[in-house]
């Protein structure tokens, strides 16, 4: 991997639940931008605007983690993870699991999952 590409990947910040959930949805399979927005709104029960999704998708594409395919008469864009994108997300989720496990230990399981 070239230094420039590595720098672009390292510059991607997953600092919101919306970004994290977008990555998880893309890991499940290719998606249209509108489909991502509507799914986020349904799952998170918040209003999600295009300005929260499309710039993030462009960053992922510029870093080589995502590719864009056009389909249909209107040339709708479908966002598809690259192999590097899948690896990026899986590594991120592994780190997240470690954080959650550490948090559960610190709080104690009885506080996390009360009867």
Q: What is the 3-state secondary structure (H, E, C) of 38-55?
A: HHHHHHHCCCCCHHHHHH
Q: List, for residues 24-74, the tens digit of each pLDDT value.
A: 999 999 999 999 999 999 999 999 999 999 999 999 999 999 999 987 667
CATH of the domain at 25: 1.10.10.10
Residue 114 lies in a domain: no
Residue 115 lies in a domain: no
Are β-strands 31-32 and 66-71 bridged in parallel, bridged antiparallel, or unpaired?
unpaired
Are β-strands 31-32 and 76-81 bridged in parallel, bridged antiparallel, or unpaired?
antiparallel
Number of domains in the chain: 1
Q: Find the domain containing 37 and state its range.
A: 3-109
Residue 17 lies in a domain: yes
Residue 24 lies in a domain: yes
Who contacts 87 (Cβ-Cβ below 8 Å, separation ≥6)? none
Is the model's pTM score more than 0.95?
no
């Amino acid at each position: 991997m070239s230094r420039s590409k590595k720098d672009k990947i390292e510059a991607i910040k997953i600092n919101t639940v919306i970004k994290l959930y977008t990555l998880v949805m893309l890991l499940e399979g290719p998606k249209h931008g509108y489909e991502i927005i509507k799914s986020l709104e349904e799952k998170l029960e918040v209003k999600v605007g295009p300005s929260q999704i499309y710039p993030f998708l462009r960053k992922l594409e510029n870093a080589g983690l995502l590719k864009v395919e056009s389909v249909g008469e209107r040339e709708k864009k479908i966002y598809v993870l690259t192999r590097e994108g899948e690896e990026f997300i899986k590594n991120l989720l592994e780190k997240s699991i470690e954080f959650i496990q550490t948090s559960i230990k610190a709080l104690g399981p009885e506080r996390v999952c009360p009867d």
